[in-house]
Chain A
Amino acid sequence: MKTVAIAMLIFLGMATLSGGQIVVQKVQGDVQLRQGVTEVWHRVAPGDILKPDDTMKTGPKGTAVILVPAASPQKSSKRVTLPPDVMVDISDVRELSQEELMLKLAMEKVRSSSYQPTNDGLNIPNASVVHGTNKSGETALPENEIAVGILQLNGTRVLFENGFYPTCALKAMEVFRLFPALGERFGNRLLVAEALERARLKGEALNEYGAMLKLSGLTPAQESLLHERMGQLRK
């Protein structure tokens, strides 16, 4: 019976692969899926087809295997295993083309600079203007739950281990924006720098290593490692 089920799964998987879709091959324990921009998590079953805007997460004892179609005829499809306690955006489980990668990096710059309208000397007024600091503002709000950020960072490690270096780096940077504390951790940052390096983004990797030197509490060994990596990149 089990053999039949596996055969069916493989058949199903192959059928969907021909359509270029990502399919859930295997599920064990707590594995959930969030579709698009909704906030509801559903349980995942083998054979489920995943959409690019979906997000998948595994619980402390959950694992899943997804089959990612080949990006090109010369390449083979990839089987990605999600270990316990990871969260992965399906849109990140793909190999970016060089153009997409450059555009993504450009978008990071656009995002960081933000678009401002033409300086025509005029501003549309805001009818309400608040002078002074808002004393009862954000401090009363809870920060984003760091556990969610850790799940996402674990997800980036999965991306790294499966060769999705560009999306690994970009996702990690996004996580750092939502969870600034995670961006202060040496190991997490090193993952980003290495992913950039593997993605052959030498300049960006060098910048990241340089930025890491400003992290507080670096040990001499960590500093030495960063200098060594930077030296290698400069060669």
Chain B
Amino acid sequence: MTRCHATALLAGLLMQAVTIHGQSFMDPRAIGIGAFTAAGKDSRGFAWNPASLVQIRDWDFSVTTYTGVAAENAGFAFHGLTLGKRFLGSEAVAVEYAPGTQLHLVVPPTLTVSGGNTPVSNDREIKYDEPGSVGYAHRFSKSLALGIAGRYRRERVTDTRITLVQRDSIPLFPVSITQSLESSTWFADVALLWMPREDLSVGVSGRNLLRFAGASLPDSLEWYALPKTAIASLGAWYQPVTGLHLAGQISTNGTTILGHEWSPGLGLSLRNALFVVRGESPALAAFSVGIGWSYEFLDVGASYLRFTNRERHSGVVSLAEFDAKEIHSLDLNPYVRDRISLSVRAIFGNMRESLARIEGVEMFGAVYPSSFETFAYRPIGKARIRNISEKPIDARVSFFVEKFMDAPTESRSVTLAPGGTAEVELTAVFNERVRAVAKMTIREANILVTATPAETFDDRANAPVLFRGRNEWDGKAESLRFFVTPDDPDVLKSSRDILLQQREALGSVGAGMEPFVKSRVLINDFSGKLMYVSDPKLSADYVQYPSETLKVRGGDCDDMTVCFASLLGSVGVATAFVDIIPPGSPGDSHIYLLFDTGLDARYGASVSENPKRYVLRKGKSGRETVWIPIETTVIVRGFDEAWTAGAQQYFEEVELGLGLARGWVRIVDVN
């Protein structure tokens, strides 16, 4: 057997056109934005920056498909899938299976031999692919993360050689022998992601920093080997206004990419990018547009990448022009063609990304046991919350203090635009245990913000809450109201006992005068039983409850005012505090009592022919009635003296001094 070897020479091939099939970008969002080093947020983008894996929530799964746009390469094909997982809060891993990440060149035959039933040709195919990658990321803090990735690359050259075999019957018979030569290498990438502000991220990545080579191509085929030089990229992701992100990236391989993403709402995102590549003609090598839509755990995206040099990226290149050393990346190189990519991503699991964050909590003041109920309506503090997601959210803030609350109180829902902030007032429904606080106590409050459906909370914060002792008072007349307890059994019993003793005398009083006469009876009776004494600790902020004043039979002006307001209130008489804070000497502040006789102004003479002894004012009924001022500090001398002193004081301070109009006298209705 004579054997002739006919080998296609490389020199002969140089004039041939090479057909290229390729696909690389795995993520339509990445294609749409282009500059993706600092913009990744899920498992699909870790090829650009593995540190971006820290942005994934829990399980993250995606499938990508693609199609060419030219007639000869149209038709969707499977590109790959990724699976990512975040764990321990600050760690994340991902794997990528991407049979579609490849570049396939076919060098047409220089020799075709027809013989037998099948023609034989000496094709050469070169295939580069990166079918698998793994990534890992660690978050050091809220603003800094590190990522590493390993990419497996294969470079395969397949030659078909034709051998002419001499046979007895057939002079020369062509026999084809196919030979594949392959190299494989693991590349290691390292990257950082820095997020100094809510609206800014900066990414740095180093590709091909380490190589772990397996089999390699023979020297004769080294011409087809891809460059293995390290490439550094620096990218930024900036949000100038709510809903708009700008991206930029430069790489040491001469690629500059600018892009943006606009999220107008309803989960939609529109993207656009420009790719400038050094050495390409024109320099603006490509542009892309993309669209995305996300809802809850689902995210779909599509992108279109178009190259400006139609000849270069036509899928056919002369072998003379082909240079494997230009292929620094399978993602973007002179031989990639226009394409459309589609991807679907789903998020699973319980550990979800927070949609809202608490930026600060401010407590308005202490909780006074006497008025703790007011915090059910009046804010105890406020929390500043921010929407840190990219879609509008409805957020609620809850407030809870263990032991003093039975359940958290929750604010009304607040709608926040992406990046938007709001101050939410916190209310608290405390339980009766607060009343038992004897001395000042500090407790920690838990504040939670919840924006994610079915999640317990998205962020939490703590704030100290100061609980004052049960007898402490903040010095405001409005708060003194809450020491008034007309329904206290001790108060009720005391007032009822006195009125029962005077039953016969009271029976002859007309109903119109009843409140006045009852009040006079009560005050006269108790004036003999109580005495004026200062606070036990010389503090103006200490107020006794009426039952305590009745028990110890004395108190200062606050205690007496509160006690008599309670006694009168227990028999249905409306009262008010006259709060005096003299201008220039606020330390001499004073408080005394007004009670409503219920008499219309035109019957004022029934209580006194001197109008200076009473006050005409509108009560709760809206009717102008006669109110009697009572100076409680002299109440021990009886009703008439307390009335005279109160009326004189009121006339001087309000009518002559114009204190009410000037604001240093205030009247605070108790009931």
Contact = CB atoms under 8 A, between A and B. Distances in A.
Interface in A100-141: 100, 103-104, 106-107, 110-118, 120-130, 134-141
A37 B612 contact: yes
B422 interface: no
Nearest to B618: A114
Contacts of B491: 127
A177 interface: yes
Interface of B: 373-374, 376-378, 478, 481-482, 484-487, 491-492, 510-513, 569-574, 576, 599-606, 608-613, 616-619, 624, 644, 647-648, 651-652, 654-656, 658, 660-662, 666-671
A191 B667 CA distance: 32
Contact of A144 (B487, B604, B619): B604
A107 B656 CA distance: 12
A117 B510 contact: no
A203 interface: no
Given A121-B377, A126-B572, A126-B574, A103 B478 contact: no
Nearest to B608: A39
A114 B619 contact: yes
Given A112-B618, A115-B666, A116-B669, A103 B658 contact: yes
B658 A100 contact: yes
A53 B652 contact: yes
A113 B511 contact: no
A136 B606 CA distance: 15
A140 B513 CA distance: 10
Residue of B478, B602, B655 with most partner-chain A CB within 10 A: B602
Contacts of B481: 117, 124
B602 A127 contact: no
Contacts of A130: 572
B600 A124 contact: no
A174 B647 CA distance: 17
Nearest to A136: B511
Contacts, number: 158
Given A36-B648, A37-B648, A107 B374 contact: no
A140 B378 contact: no
Contacts of A178: 601-602, 604, 611, 616
B651 A37 contact: yes
Contact of A127 (B569, B618, B662): B569
A122 B483 CA distance: 13
Main secondary structure of the interface of A (DSSP, over half): loop
Contacts of A103: 658, 661-662
Contacts of A128: 570-572
Interface residues of A, number: 52
Interface string A181-216: 000000000000000000000000000000000000
Contacts of B487: 125, 127
A141 B572 contact: no
Contact of B656 (A91, A140, A179): A91
Nearest to A37: B647
Residue of B491, B599, B601 with most partner-chain A CB within 10 A: B601
Contact of B610 (A37, A117, A126, A140): A37
A117 B669 contact: yes
A122 B656 contact: no
B612 A127 contact: no
B569 A39 contact: no
A113 B616 CA distance: 11
Given A36-B612, A128-B570, A144-B605, A106 B661 contact: yes
B510 A140 contact: yes
A124 B619 contact: no
Interface in A35-60: 36-39, 52-53, 55
A143 B485 CA distance: 35
B639 to A, nearest CB: 14
A26 B576 CA distance: 44
B671 A38 contact: no
A141 B599 contact: yes
B599 A127 contact: no
A78 interface: no
A38 B574 CA distance: 25
A54 B157 CA distance: 119
Contacts of A116: 669
A37 B513 CA distance: 21
Given A116-B669, A137-B511, A39 B603 contact: no
A7 interface: no
A110 B374 contact: no
A112 to B, nearest CB: 7
